[in-house]
């Protein structure tokens, strides 16, 4: 696992963009879980999604970056904001509610999960991740994605549409349920 830094100008530029996106990503992720107002959490999630879209562009996945901004920032977060506005402001103190052992246990469990991921990835992939393959200019373009999505992975595409349809039906059923007389 060699982390050799090249010193060409374009390489340095990519590093700077990557570092900025990584800091924005981690900072907004911490902001999502530590704001007491869920409205600000949802706004911080937009920042997180935007910095991840920059990461996808650096990984030459242009179509996924565009879909990320459209689907997540454009649809999912807006839906979150509407529902947060609908249920009204409910404040919560993020780090002090509940018994202290719960907080300590949650931090320990999340830390254990992180260590587990790092160890497993390091064990399984440390040999494979050092030498990279060249990618062509068409890698990640919409035409390329469309070709492999609609030819090689057509079943996944169709099943995704069924999943979305069923979820939409479930949302309608949950949302239109009348209040039971108590």
Q: How many Å apart are CA 153 and CA 156, to the nearest integer?
A: 6
Single out the residue of 85, 152, 158, 181 in contact with other proteins (rule: CB under 8 A): 152
Q: What sign does the dihedral 165-169-170-171 (CA atoms) show? A: positive
CB of 88 to other proteins, least distance (A): 8
Q: Applying CB under 8 A, does 142 fall inside the site for other proteins?
A: no
CB of 59 to other proteins, least distance (A): 4
Residues of span 26-85 touching other proteins by CB under 8 A: 26, 29-30, 32-33, 38, 41-42, 45, 48-49, 52, 55-56, 58-61, 63-64, 67-68, 71-72, 75-76, 79-80, 83-84
Single out the residue of 7, 123, 132, 137 in contact with other proteins (rule: CB under 8 A): 132
CB of 150 to other proteins, least distance (A): 10
Single out the residue of 20, 85, 142, 153 in contact with other proteins (rule: CB under 8 A): 153
Long-range residue pairs from 45-52, CB within 8 A, at least 24 positions apart, any chain = 45/77, 45/80, 46/73, 46/77, 48/24, 49/73, 49/77, 50/24, 51/21, 51/22, 51/24, 51/25, 52/21, 52/25
Q: How many Å apart are CA 46 and CA 40, to the nearest integer?
A: 10
CB of 22 to other proteins, least distance (A): 5
């Amino acid at each position: 696992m060699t982390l050799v830094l090249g010193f060409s100008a374009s390489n340095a530029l990519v590093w700077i963009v990557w570092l900025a996106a990584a800091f924005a990503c981690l900072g907004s992720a911490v902001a999502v879980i530590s704001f007491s107002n869920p409205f600000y959490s949802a706004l911080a999630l937009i920042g997180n999604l935007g910095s991840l879209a920059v990461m996808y562009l650096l990984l030459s996945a242009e179509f996924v970056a565009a879909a990320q901004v459209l689907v997540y920032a454009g649809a999912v977060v807006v839906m979150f904001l509407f529902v947060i506005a609908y249920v009204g402001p409910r404040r919560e103190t993020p780090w002090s509610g509940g018994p202290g052992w719960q907080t300590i246990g949650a931090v320990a469990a999340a830390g254990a999960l992180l260590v587990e991921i790092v160890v497993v990835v390091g064990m399984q992939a440390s040999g494979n991740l050092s030498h990279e393959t060249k990618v062509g200019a068409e890698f990640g373009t919409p035409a390329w994605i469309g070709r492999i999505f609609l030819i090689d992975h057509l079943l996944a595409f169709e099943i995704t549409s069924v999943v979305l349809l069923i979820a939409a039906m479930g949302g309608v059923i949950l949302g239109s349920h009348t209040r039971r007389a108590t």
